[in-house]
Every structure is written in structure tokens, then in C-alpha cells.
Amino acid sequence: MTRPLDVINTGDPAQRRPMPAVPSGCASHGCGGPEPVLPPPPSFGEVRVNGIEIAPEAISREIQHHPAPDAETAWVEAARALAVRELLLQEARRLGLEPEPEEDEAGRTEAEDDALVRQLLEAQVTPERAGEAECRRYYDASVERFRTPELFEAAHILIEPQGEEEAAWHAAEARARTIAQEVADDAAAFAAAAREFSGCASARQDGSLGQIRRGELVPAVQAGLEALGEGTTGREPIRSRFGWHVLRLQRRIPGRTLPFEIVQPKIADMLEARSWSVAAGRYVAALAARSHVEGVRIEGAGS
């Protein structure tokens, strides 16, 4: 499976020199198709891997994939990623690997350099497969991660104000209160009122919102819903930016802890991915330790 290359930390760049801006070409004039507008690159040092320079223009293009709070951090992350890539490509060629590109689900064929990096890592990095005991330890230590969320089967009637002035909001609130009092806890009456009065598209489904997870509704509406007992309608409408909501809670579906046997395969996959990241980091650091990398530091290369 495809593995991330971004596994090694770097330090500060070395000597600094101005870096040329990437020309925009004709993209800004609309004759070459849309291209990303790149910021002028900052001025940092040369980056070389075994004497091969990572072009400043390449680092400038790579920066867009490394969001950071400042230009220097973004430059370091971009330069490091390209230095690691160059390191892996050089090793793949040294070992005589020939690229065997694969297609993704959309039918796109990977670039030859990407294929070389993938093939090298597949051949050289072997993650440890977690056994049942290790998976069980992780499950027991993190059992809260394996609970299904509590669900709220809910419905509402949305009364929208006929304008933005406060008088319109007051009128909508009064109408919502009247509806809440009239339907009370009668499910059939609530459904009929939703179809007739609600300004929400859910009116066509008797006001039903389906099964809602905590956090899927605006906080005020969620809090109002959770305050209700099963099979009851709230007598106090809840205001949101959309209008006033008359809420009904049909039932609560409590969360439950998934059995270990159900989640063990996913735990094993997660632990294997973690193991792969650690192993890949060590492998790249070992390559860097016996190579000459200038301009960025790949952590672990000197240890």
C-alpha cells in the first residue's frame, strides 16, 4: 500500500543566498490553463544530496504542500521532503531498480520517480505485524476509542421569521410556542404540524432529522434536544440563526463498546502503519548518515 514519505525531521538550513522567484509564465494571462499562484520564495541556502542540488524553483513549488506559520518553516519542510525524495531515488537507482508504475482507482498512472520510491520502500522497509497480545493491550488501554457514538433520533419544526427585524423574530417565536403547546407529545400531531408549518426541507419527512450524533447540530439545538425525554416535544422553542425550532426527541440510542474481535483487524492495521513509519524513518536516517546532505538536517543521520 502507499506509504507517506514525510517521516523525518530536519533542522535549520545552512548558508543562505537569494533564491529566484518562480516565473508565472502565461498562466496569469489565461493561455496556459490554471496553475497555482506561488509566493516568491524566501532566501535560504543551497540544498544538495550527494552533490545533486535541489533546485530552488522545486523547493518553491513544494512549499504549497507544507503549510507552516512562517516562510522559513515552510521552506525547511519543503526542502527536507525533496531531499528525502532525492536520497531515496538515488538509492533506488544504485540498487538497479526499474520503475514499474501502478494505476490508482481512477486509472491514473503514477510517475516513474514515484514508482521507484514506492518500490524501494516496499523492498527495504518491513513493518512488524502486531499480534493478538499487542492488539489486546492497545484495545484495553484505549477502549473509549472503540465506542459507537450516542445517537438521538429527532425531529423538528422550523419557524422562520418573516424578516430580520426583532419584531419578526418575536412573532416567529410566538408561533413556535403555540405549535409546541398544541402538538404536545403527540407524535402524529407533531408530524402533521411539521408538514404544514416547518420551513425546513425535513417537513416532507414529518420533520424527521434522522439519527443525529452529538456535534452535528448547532450547540443550542443540540442542548435543547438532549434536555428532552424520549417521546416528548420541547415546549420551549430554541433559537438558531435559521429561526425557532420546536424539537422532538423520539428516542436515544446509547453508544456501546465494540467487542475486541470486531476491531482487532483495524487495530492491527493501525499498529502496522505506525511500525512502518518508524521503520521508514530509521531507513531514511541510515541512508542520510552514509550520504552527504547539505542545507537541511535529517534527524538521526548523525546517530
Digit-coded pLDDT (tens) for 130-180: 999 999 999 999 999 999 999 999 999 999 999 999 999 999 999 999 999
For residue 161, give every residue at least 6 positions away whose Cβ sits within 8 Å of its Cβ, in sequence order, or none. Answer: 168, 169, 171, 172, 243, 244
- Give pTM, 2 decimals: 0.58
Nearest to 79 by CA among 301, 299, 295, 300: 295
Nearest to 90 by CA among 47, 46, 52: 52
- pLDDT score of 257: 95
- pLDDT score of 43: 53
Query: Could you give the domains of the chain?
Result: 27-129+268-294 (no CATH), 151-253 (3.10.50.40)
- pLDDT score of 15: 36
Nearest to 190 by CA among 209, 167, 169: 209
- Cell 533506488 belongs to 92
Which residue ranges in the chain fall short of pLDDT 70? 1-44, 300-303
User: HSE on the CB side for 51, CA within 13 Å?
Assistant: 0
- Provide the 8-state DSSP code for 72: H
- pLDDT score of 203: 96
- pLDDT score of 153: 97
